[in-house]
Structure 1
Amino acid sequence: MHGGCHVRVSTWQTPWRLLLAINAAIIVGVFIHKIQLPPYVPYVHLLVDYHFGFIKRALIGAVVALFTAKVPVWLVFALGGATWLVTLGLYAKLFRKTFGFTAKTLPLFVFIAGSPFFLKNFMHTLGHFDIYGCALAIILLLLPAGSVLFVATAALFSIILVLIHHIHLLMYVPTIITIVVIRHYLTYGLNRTNVTFGIVSLLIVSALFFAAQFLGAMPVPEADFVVYLKGRMADPSRTELLQFSYIWYQPLATEISDTWGRLPHNILGVPVFALLIWLHTPLWRYFVGLIGALESGAHRRLVATALVGVSLAYVVMFAMVFDYSRWISNWAVCMFLILHAVKMLPATRETPPVPAEDRDTNIFGLIVTLIPRVGIVRPF
């Protein structure tokens, strides 16, 4: 009898396996809900390629065009689902490499992998381009970082992301730069070759961004563009899926004007975002502990500067484009990935993991688990 009570108490104190199972069930539910919704923006991106010359947001569509002349709607979910599964596998591999899967690290895994900011929200935004930045950043955290080839790979990934969507310069490129600095420059030191290569790479990526932003507009009338898109559709009768074709014609000034016009309404979501961030308190405490335990004071200052820099890039995004729920979710994902990079730096002591049997931590973990997603524009 006493042993049975002990088992029940232990299960209540460490419900992390159960929370992991609940997260898996919620992700399945989000997927079922998602495939019933019309994929307005993701589908158009699969239709647009470089038929009319260099234009922004066209790389994924150009790759799809190599394999099929007609694009079915289901391809949005197939391609998005495959990318999601690859990202899940990559993150599981990264977590095993950085922390290992043990009873002690399970709460940390639940807070990150089960966060509504991360895999659950990527499932809700299935077909959007955000997840590609996350996947490539995870690959950089897994690759050997000892040679200038690592910097070259990071530059190539950044170029791919900017060609997928130029907003990646603010969304994931700053995190990629942080990963390169932490894993290569801080770990292996500076020399003329790797510094020069890094600066040149940064200039190339920046130039590509400005080219996409200011020279990547569609060069033909929108009516001609829509006719071409219909020719790429497997079912041209579904014209409602082309209603976002205007975004290839919209200048930056209009995007900013729209964002500020919606600001009074969208800003109401900020307290909700703040609450969601606060619910991850045990994770943030662990992150602060990791930074505080770093062996080098210079490393601590550089990591703090990088976190501010990545966050400022998202502030700029908030001012330019109004998909606030996506931006705050990807900001959190960037924090998660930088946490992994920081764990790879030399430390003076081992940071205590997220406590598995702390009552408050259990409550935070349960609430975080039960939140199915954050959303695209407004919370939920």
Structure 2
Amino acid sequence: MVKPKVYVTRIIPEAGLRLIREFSEIKVWEEPLPPPREVILEAAEDADGIVSLLTDRIDAQLLDACPSLRVVSNMAVGFDNINLIDASERGVLAGNTPGVLTETTADFAFALLMAAARRIVEGADYVRTGQWKTWGPLLLLGSDVHHATLGLVGLGRIGAEVAKRASGFDMRVMYYDVVRRTDLETTLGLEYAPLEIVLANADFVSVHTPLVPETHHLMNRERFEQMKPSAILINTSRGPVVDTDALVEALRAGEIRAAALDVTDPEPLPADHPLVDMPNCLVVPHIASASDATRSKMAEIAAENLIAGLKGEPLPCGLNNEVVGKGRNSLPRDW
């Protein structure tokens, strides 16, 4: 029996690979770094499906270089690496893995908040480098989290879960979103305000917006000037939502106290980037969803999306299911 051909751009958890192997002929890029563009174009030229990550650009060039391609399954919630217009025009289905990482990412966002507030990484480095000689009343003083004000920039699923965690610390939670959520204001005790008001009042600003043209560099020089000098920025959304150069200047000038970043622009940051060595900036390598259970479930959903698309069915987590039965998706299947 002929099986569809699938290219997976990185090793993913076995929960997903197992499902894909059972249904298709699979080819996997097994190196730790993302495959170069030319490698993807060659390796996927006869693929019927691709499992992609945020590092893989899915655009007209790739879609035209892979004429058999019917479905692209992104193992991520975000999908700014996929040009949905290009995919839909060709009848190529696309999907993502929403929902499953919501609580895990919210846990991590709050962990970054705590780590930056209480200078935990600085403290560990202080001990590791042999600087700890005695207890001191002024040693590594940080910011209290309890009873502080948390400002959420974006109130999607992850933002709402962060708000729930803040309630355990008796925090006042303010938020800004393009869509006001009066239901969550009631159930979670949130306060809605314009962005500049949220920033002016928040001790911690946690960013939870998708990356779209309107949110590119949403957190810029003007926004940092609106924040308290004692405020801490947390970003677990997308790197380009924050203007990196403006953040460097704000941290150096003391316009804000600190930042904790799971995502950056560029990503990864070069080893000699100013943010890497700043004591008031904590940078981690985009690991907010990196728990065993969550990554396995993401891989499983990505596989289910892929298989549905190869069958010509709507994807369980589809981004453009309206193209089912159109364009390439309407072509006969040999499997």
TM over 0.5: no
More helix by share: 1
Higher strand share: 2
**Larger relative contact order (Cα-Cα within 8 Å, sequence gap ≥ 6):** 1
Q: TM-score with structure 1 length normalisation?
A: 0.20
Relative to the length of structure 2, the TM-score reads: 0.21
